[in-house]
Amino acid sequence: MATPATSGLKYLSNALATAEQLSNSSSAIDGVSPDLEASIRFAGAQLTQTAGILLRLSQDIIAQAIVTFTRFWIGSEGGSLRIHSVKDVSAAALYMTAKLSFQPTSPRSVLNVYTFLLSKEASPLWFVNPNGSPDKPTPETYHLTEGGYQAQRQVLLRTESIILRTLGFNTHVALPHTIALTYLQTMGVSSSAVAKRVFEHLNSALLSPQLLYATHQPNALAVAAIYLSAREVGVKLVDSDWWEVFDVDREDLGFLVVGMGSMEGFARAEVEKWKGRGVPMTADELDGEMERRRMMQEGE
Amino acid sequence: MASKSRWATDDDPETEAILAQRKREKDEKRRAKAEKQRQLDEQQAQAQAQAQAQQQPDPDHPPKKRRRLSNDQDQEKEKPSQTPPATSKNNEPTILSFPTQEWGPCRNVANFERLNHIEEGSYGFVSRAKDITTGEIVALKKLKMDNSPDGFPVTGLREIQTLLEARHQNVVELREVVMGDKLDEVYLVMPFLEHDLKTLLDDMSEPFLPSEIKTILLQVLSGLDFLHDQWIMHRDLKTSNLLLNNRGEVKIADFGMARYYGDPPPKLTQLVVTLWYRSPELLLGAEKYGTEIDMWSIGCIFGELLTKEPLLQGKNEVDQVSKIFTLTGPPTPQTWPEFRSLPNAKSLRLPPTPSTASSTSSPPLLPRTKFPFLTNAGLHLLSSLLALNPTSRLSTKACLAHRYFREDPRPKPKEMFPTFPSKAGMEKRRRRETPEAPKRGQEAPKLDFASVFGGEQGEQGEQGAGFTLRLG
């Protein structure tokens, strides 16, 4: 029996990955190297974020979709990048999260947006279209044919069911954003610059290779973002171990602050690493990339 | 010696010595006793401090959020350390640990042995089954996957999402979701309860006793209170969705219509709640509604518990509205000012409002004759649940505090609740002609309520119940 205290907390907390799940992934078992997996997951999360913006979904829905997308790949019983294309899981996670929200969207809208974002000629995304998008891409380069739509829709709905099965139908995602605002008010921080920076850190952390949203509770993410933002903006917070009031210990705070602080460097390194090439967005493209790496190794 | 008594002067020194000796002994005894008591106190204090220290990491007791400031601690250290464990407790932070939740893939339905079929609800088939590993008897509900063009049915997703989050002793517990070999075979695993109230009422020769009605109603209300607190609307409360086990526990089930709501309320479908339990604002086409629709259903359930028969058995939406107004009287500008602006209210021609209408904000009492065995407090509760105006309907909190539950006869303790033979246990059930919950995706009907008050009944509105009803 859950006490009132813990049942109320459930609403503010998330299911977290176990140590066993973190030490093993289905993709790793299928031979995908950890750095390649991290690159693809990072690109997939960015794809989800961009698609959500084009679908005019609010950021809380997009953020929940990215967390669901991230959870899907974790653990030996999670999904494998060799079997499920990252673009399909991204689309299905976004479609399913929107369906449960106050802003549902149609399969056709989702697939139109993904066709555009995955077009090698028209896409504005650096990891799909490394040459950069033309000012006015020709509509033919991102047109979804009726036949293509029917086929894609089948894949979308099938992937949705696979995500649900893999996560045991646990679609609940609590977000740190509103918690962070409450904490800022509690501490009497009135600087909107800090609040803005907090949201920026929380949204970037969604893309973190350290899977911060799957390893830490929202209150800890909120506290770390506040700590980091206040330092960056130069706002002085209360002079004590205030994070303990919000149930975060020093060790977790330190880890999260380093993790969030390293996001910018990681993102830049990724862009540099994939310069002039696309990150594999499908299982087939991944097979090609793994083959290329194998050949390079043999050549050395 | 000034304190010497009269008689003592007569005594010889020997007696005096004995007396002094006795006094010394007494004093010594008292001192020993005081010493013993002090030692005992010390031991107790230590034990208490230890118990406190042990209790500290208990996740069920959230620690106080207020932290001591550093100079506070210094002051305490300067003081003689009479209670050392208490000070050391304040030195380390008390951090609340969150309930540990994990995720993992669904198990296969092959882990369960199907025993017998129970019922076909609007959103799935339910059967009794045995968990092969634990031997536990559970209810397995197969979700209907209507091959919709939108993929996994959103109703099923919401049912799972809300049930997983609503853990309360009066809400049926969703243990897990299991799947068959195909992706469209999804089953919800829930504890098996022997009865639903609908089947039970059908089979009973006499209605429940007043004390039993109170026990049932209190449990339903506390479950619903929890749901509303979690921003969940049930949207299909009816006696067949209330389960009862042989330990007198009632649980709210079937969350096929449930969903989260917000403040301000989002635009929602009006096609919710089974017709007989549907509130007037839904019938009249309100696009924004709130938890009040659940309270109306509670009122209908209350009435059904009292009389053993569903209270308002309309044949269709129009008939339902006329049945409601027959029971409660038609809405007046005083009792429900916003009623005229509802979409379907335009076609409704009301009889002339009786000028004697009271202008009090509380809804009028229902006719006494309909519920002859109900106390005044009970009638007041029922009337406030079946208030036409959603804003004057009672909330769950107000209901739970209502005097009806505190007057005699008191609610019967759950342990004393009678048991009944379980239909769901082995026998196949009769199908009853209850209307089904509305199907998703249907258009909300444009209703013509012109016939509700029998057209031109004109000026003879003074006698009788204020208006007459033409049926069919």
A72-99 residue pLDDT tens: 999 999 999 999 999 999 999 999 999 9
Span B399-413, pLDDT tens digits = 999 999 999 888 988
A146 with A285, same domain? yes
Cβ of A157 and B151 within 8 Å?
Answer: yes
Residues paired with B138 in a beta bridge: B129, B191
Contact B214, B306 (CB under 8 A): no
**Nearest chain B Cα distance for residue A299, angstroms:** 41
Contact A121, A129 (CB under 8 A): yes
Higher pLDDT, B338 or A212: A212
**What value, to the nearest 5°, has the Cα angle with vertex A257 and ends A255 and A261?**
120
Number of inter-chain CB pairs under 8 A, A vs B: 118
- Tell me which chain A residues have a C-beta less than 8 angstroms from the C-beta of B102: 15-18, 21
- B169 lies within 8 A of chain A by CB: yes
Nearest chain A alpha carbon to B262: A102
Peptide bond into B352 cis (omega under 30): no
The residue annotated as part of the active site, out of B196, B225, B236, B254, is B236
User: What are the tokens at B457?
Assistant: 């009944």
A190 with A257, same domain? yes
pLDDT at B455: 47
pLDDT at A72: 97
- Tell me which chain B residues have a C-beta less than 8 angstroms from the C-beta of A164: 152, 157
pLDDT at B77: 42
User: What are the tokens at B54?
Assistant: 């042990």
A168 with A185, same domain? no
- Would residue A63 count as lying in a domain? yes
CB atoms within 10 A of CB B21: 10
Mean pLDDT of B87-107: 74
Across A39-48, A127-136, B288-297, B348-357, least confident range: B348-357
Q: Is the pLDDT of residue B62 over 60?
A: no
- Tell me which chain A residues have a C-beta less than 8 angstroms from the C-beta of B158: 100
A119 with A38, same domain? yes
Cβ of A10 and B101 within 8 Å?
Answer: yes
Domain ranges in chain B with CATH number 1.10.510.10: 194-462
Span A124-180, pLDDT tens digits = 999 998 887 777 788 888 889 999 999 999 999 999 999 999 999 999 999 999 999
- B108 lies within 8 A of chain A by CB: no
Residue with tokens 């171990």: A241
A254 with A286, same domain? no
Q: Is the pLDDT of residue B469 over 80?
A: no
A82 with A197, same domain? no
The CATH number of residue A141's host domain is 1.10.472.10
Q: What whole-number distance in Å separates Cα of residue B187 and Cα of residue B142?
A: 4
- Would residue A11 count as lying in a domain? no
Residue among A9, A77, A249 minimizing CB distance to B99: A9
- Would residue A224 count as lying in a domain? yes
**Nearest chain B Cα distance for residue A10, angstroms:** 7
A46 with A158, same domain? yes
Residues in chain B, how many?
Answer: 472
A83 with A133, same domain? yes
Nearest chain A alpha carbon to B61: A5
Q: What whole-number distance in Å separates Cα of residue B362 and Cα of residue B380?
A: 10
- Would residue A69 count as lying in a domain? yes
A186 with A154, same domain? no
Mean pLDDT of B1-23: 58
Nearest chain B alpha carbon to A214: B102
- B151 lies within 8 A of chain A by CB: yes
- Tell me which chain A residues have a C-beta less than 8 angstroms from the C-beta of B101: 10, 13-16, 170
CATH for B194-462, options being 1.10.3720.10, 1.10.10.10, 1.10.510.10, 3.40.640.10: 1.10.510.10
| Catalytic residue list contains B236 | yes
Contact B140, B127 (CB under 8 A): yes
Contact B103, A71 (CB under 8 A): yes
Contact B221, B395 (CB under 8 A): no
Q: How far is CA B460 from CA A234, A244, B324, B456, in A?
A: 79, 74, 21, 10
Residues paired with A232 in a beta bridge: none
A85 with A164, same domain? yes
Q: How far is CA A99 from CA A73, A94, B133, B297, B378, in A?
A: 21, 9, 36, 27, 42
Residue B430 neighbours by CB under 8 Å, 6+ apart = none
Contact A127, A46 (CB under 8 A): yes
Contact A93, A173 (CB under 8 A): no
Contact B261, B298 (CB under 8 A): no
Mean pLDDT of B452-468: 47
Residue among A161, A170, A217 minimizing CB distance to B164: A170
A158 with A201, same domain? no
Domain ranges in chain B with CATH number 3.30.200.20: 107-190
Q: What whole-number distance in Å separates Cα of residue A141 and Cα of residue B350?
A: 62
pLDDT at B56: 47
Cβ of A16 and B95 within 8 Å?
Answer: no
- B92 lies within 8 A of chain A by CB: no
A-proximal residues of B, 220-239, CB under 8 Å: 230
Mutate to test the interface with A, among B94, B103, B179 (most CBs of A within 10 A): B103
State the pLDDT confidence band at B385, using cuts at 50, 70 and 90. Answer: very high
Q: What whole-number distance in Å separates Cα of residue A179 and Cα of residue A195?
A: 12
pLDDT at B19: 66
- B60 lies within 8 A of chain A by CB: yes
Mutate to test the interface with A, among B60, B96, B98, B251 (most CBs of A within 10 A): B98
Domain that holds residue A48: 32-173+277-292
Residue among B67, B103, B167 minimizing CB distance to A167: B103
Q: Which 8-state DSSP code applies to residue A25?
A: B
Above pLDDT 70, what percent of chain B?
Answer: 73
Contact A62, A52 (CB under 8 A): yes
User: What are the tokens at B197?
Assistant: 């109230």
- Tell me which chain B residues have a C-beta less than 8 angstroms from the C-beta of A5: 60-62
**Nearest chain A Cα distance for residue B233, angstroms:** 14
Residue B387 neighbours by CB under 8 Å, 6+ apart = B328, B335, B363, B393, B394
- Would residue A15 count as lying in a domain? no
Please indicate, yes or no, whether the overall pTM of this predicted structure exceeds 0.90: no
Q: Give chain A's domain count.
A: 2
CATH fold group of domain B107-190: Phosphorylase Kinase; domain 1 (3.30.200)
Higher pLDDT, A276 or A198: A198
Nearest chain A alpha carbon to B93: A244
A88 with A232, same domain? no
Q: Is the pLDDT of residue A235 over 60?
A: yes
